[in-house]
């Protein structure tokens, strides 16, 4: 210890002598004056001494409301048998059950036991357990999930729990201090707190699985590892500003980049799942892209920022509000929109029927448009003029006698068309004949809708394809 102190003092002495020598050798005349420090024209914040970070308040306010989530997933597998025996004797082996376990984190958002986590943490779970920071363990029920935002809502039977209040992710500033709280690498590191800053906002990480995603992440450099998924990102006040979701890494471990779902999206998703049991998505009805240099030059924009409207869909909320091709959206309800991810993030906070004021640039001038949003797809059960019925993004109708005769069936329901929604995601195709829903035979579109509405968790559909081959698929009601 004494040796370290001596070394440090010696270093200071040498530096002092070096500075004196340089000062003595420096020219006394003709040197340019050092420019005075002026206010940075890009800076919009002023700090007092009390604004500098002390994160103990935030840590102590939030740590007890972050939980450890453990899940069990049971899947069916067929035993591998000799192809020769299978060909002559059939059977293909008896199905066996395979059990796997996973874990993540969660955030208590209400004292009566509602907990937010990631969809990927609890997906396909047959059992979910939650352990609080005080070591109490509860069985949890999955209230609902949303794969598009990777948000899930759990419920445990408890009252008077510590919880984290919602902040406002729109107000986060680049460079602002935040804490990530969760259970990295498993139960032994429960309640781990790491600190970092907001590195960027509106980040997207496009996937190649073809699934619809809403991605406008908060990027931070707070250390996050597997097991942190579903944990809290909080600001200096101890308010929840995001749900930690992903990392970018070539090794699978933290490499300096972590991403969180903004809490303003989470609030809306959670509210929908509690109030309706499913997510209500607003639809603008446009094809869009982020403004680039070429678009900015062509439209004579003053900055390379905003969302360029490529196409406005007929009958959409955008068309009804007067939006046109070549408009550039720069703000929604006074919130600046810099790119397509930011617009997607803002849209995710609205429900069908909500209204918002869009600020667009058209022909070089700013113009305000009042938009009233429509539903993302038609409500399940609604009947069209042709008699077809909306069903989770698809349209179904009673199969005709001719169609049933062609397949040698007595009853069934035909899938007429497949649009965006759960049916499409599950692999449904037009021409499929639905024979059973959750093991119950169906003879009308009404039967299909009513059985699906009564089930609480999943819809399992069996039938035949347009080519006459037996097939089946399923989906979670709140997925």
Residues with a known catalytic role: 120, 150, 229
Task: Give CA–CA dist 39/42, Å, rounded.
Answer: 9
Task: Give CA–CA dist 432/461, Å, rounded.
Answer: 10
C-alpha distances out from residue 427 to 223, 456, 465, Å: 38, 21, 11
372: tokens are 């009233």
Chain center to CA of 439: 33
> Which 3 state secondary structure label does DSSP give 453?
helix
Of 237, 102, 120, 259, the C-alpha closest to 180 is: 259
Of 249, 361, 238, the C-alpha closest to 299 is: 361
Half-sphere exposure of 323 (CA within 13 A, CB side): 32
C-alpha distances out from residue 158 to 2, 72, 122, 138, 142, Å: 55, 22, 20, 9, 15
465 burial type by CB count under 10 A (0-12 exposed, 13-18 middle, 19+ buried): middle
> Which 3 state secondary structure label does DSSP give 354?
coil
């Amino acid at each position: 210890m004494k040796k370290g102190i001596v070394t440090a003092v010696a270093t200071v002495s040498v530096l002092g002598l070096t500075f004196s020598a340089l000062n003595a050798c420096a020219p006394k005349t003709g040197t340019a004056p050092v420019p005075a420090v002026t206010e940075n024209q890009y800076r919009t914040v002023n700090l007092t001494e009390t604004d500098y970070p002390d994160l103990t308040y935030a840590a102590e306010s939030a740590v007890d409301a972050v939980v450890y989530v453990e899940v069990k997933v049971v899947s069916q597998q067929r035993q591998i048998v000799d192809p020769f025996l299978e060909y002559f004797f059939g059977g293909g082996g008896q199905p066996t059950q395979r059990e796997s376990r996973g874990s993540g984190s969660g955030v208590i958002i209400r004292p009566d036991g509602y907990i937010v986590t990631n969809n990927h943490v609890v997906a396909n779970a047959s059992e979910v357990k939650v352990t609080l920071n005080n070591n109490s363990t509860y069985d949890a029920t999955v209230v609902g999930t949303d794969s598009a935002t990777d948000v899930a809502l759990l419920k445990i039977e408890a009252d008077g729990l510590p919880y984290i209040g919602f902040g406002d992710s729109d107000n986060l500033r680049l460079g602002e201090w935040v804490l990530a709280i969760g259970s990295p690498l498993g139960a032994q590191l429960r309640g781990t707190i790491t600190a970092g800053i907001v590195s960027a906002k509106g980040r997207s990480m496009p996937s190649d699985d073809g699934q619809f995603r809403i991605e406008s992440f908060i990027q931070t450099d707070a250390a996050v590892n597997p097991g942190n998924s579903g944990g809290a990102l909080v600001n200096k006040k101890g308010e929840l500003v995001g749900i930690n979701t992903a990392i970018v890494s070539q090794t699978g471990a933290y490499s300096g980049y972590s991403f969180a779902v903004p809490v303003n999206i989470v609030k809306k998703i959670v509210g929908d799942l509690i109030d309706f049991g499913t997510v209500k998505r607003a639809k603008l009805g446009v094809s869009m892209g982020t403004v680039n240099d070429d678009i900015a030059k062509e439209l004579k924009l003053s900055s390379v920022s905003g969302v360029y409207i490529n196409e406005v869909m007929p009958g959409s909320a955008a068309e009804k509000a007067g939006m046109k091709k070549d408009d550039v959206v720069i703000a929604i309800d006074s919130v600046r929109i810099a790119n397509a991810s930011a617009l997607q993030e803002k849209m995710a906070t609205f429900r069908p029927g909500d209204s918002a004021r869009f600020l667009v640039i058209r022909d070089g001038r700013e113009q305000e448009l009042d938009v009233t949003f429509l539903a993302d797809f038609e409500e399940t059960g609604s009947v069209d003029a042709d008699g077809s019925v909306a069903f989770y993004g698809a349209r179904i109708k009673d199969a005709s006698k001719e169609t049933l005769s062609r397949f040698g069936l007595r009853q069934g329901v035909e899938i007429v068309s497949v649009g965006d929604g759960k049916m499409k995601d599950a692999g449904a195709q037009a021409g499929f004949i639905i024979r059973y829903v959750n093991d119950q035979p169906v003879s009308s579109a009404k039967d299909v809708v009513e059985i699906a509405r009564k089930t609480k968790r999943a819809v399992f559909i069996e039938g035949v394809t347009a080519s006459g081959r037996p097939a089946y698929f399923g989906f979670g009601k709140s997925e």
